[in-house]
Amino acid sequence: MSFGERLSNKVAVITGAASGIGRAISLEFAKEGADVVLSDIDEKGLINVANQIREMGKKAVFVTADATRIHDVEKMLKIALEKFGRIDILVNSIGVLRGGKIEDLSEEDWDFVISVNLKGVFLCSQKIGKYFIENKVPGVIINIASISGILPQVYTGAYSPSKAGVILLSALMAMEWARYGIRVNCICPGPTRTPMTDRYYQGKLREARELAIPLGRFAEPEEIAKVAVFLASSDAKYITGASLPVDGGSLQSMFFLVNYIRELISKEV
């Protein structure tokens, strides 16, 4: 199977599709032949991505939905099945970050980040996982976590714990659902150029983060998207339960990074 066809005849549901990594994955999946169901709370962003996909001559439908609300997740599933008749792939790409020191972290911020980053992944995976099991679909689930879920990134509040939860949840689903032919894998990006990271990494903090990346730069969202295509395709048919860092070598320099950023932020926060 050649590039441009690796996901042909597949239907993919992608959450967090309006911007950042989710947007890039949506466009890349469409280029590879998939019909795409786009989900996010940002309707304007969804319309933009859907129009781009349709301009390619591909099929896309969007659903304005909050992945932390079960009724919205059920609506997303219902519309996907009404439009395309099946689902083969789920990509959970929703994610938020509210940084700060642990001692200053509000209960509201903790609940919000855990709900979006972890509960949202659970609800979407559970609902579509049940669909896969009941309909004997050897489906694929790809969760976007972070290298911050592997080693803690200081002053990111609930972000690191939430992403660690996504990694472990992905492994748990992979083990429980392997007997149904369902594959579940996790991508752990390093710093990636998205609206969220652009807001968080500014000035000296961004310079320090880039210095700590062996390849010397943030990832482009499209570079994460191409890994998602691989994991969704038959090229990865023997891969499940994996957490794949896509980070320019950042994990190898994480201990340096943690100390460097701690010193910088303690002076500025």
pLDDT (tens digit, 9 = 90+) per residue, 21-59? 999 999 999 999 999 999 999 999 999 999 999 999 999
If pLDDT is split at 50, 70 and 90, which confidence band does 210 have? confident
Q: What proportion of the chain, given as a percentage, has pLDDT over 90?
A: 77
Catalytic residue check, 180: no
How much is the pLDDT for 1? 47
CA dist 185 → 124, 144, 178 (Å): 15, 9, 11
Structural domains of the chain sorted by starting position, each given as residue range(s) with its CATH number in brackets: 11-268 (3.40.50.720)
Alpha-carbon distance 26 to 38, whole Å?
7
pLDDT (tens digit, 9 = 90+) per residue, 102-156? 999 999 999 999 999 999 999 999 999 999 999 999 999 999 999 999 988 888 8
159, 180, 201, 238: the catalytic one is: 159
pTM: 0.91
Alpha-carbon distance 117 to 221, whole Å?
18
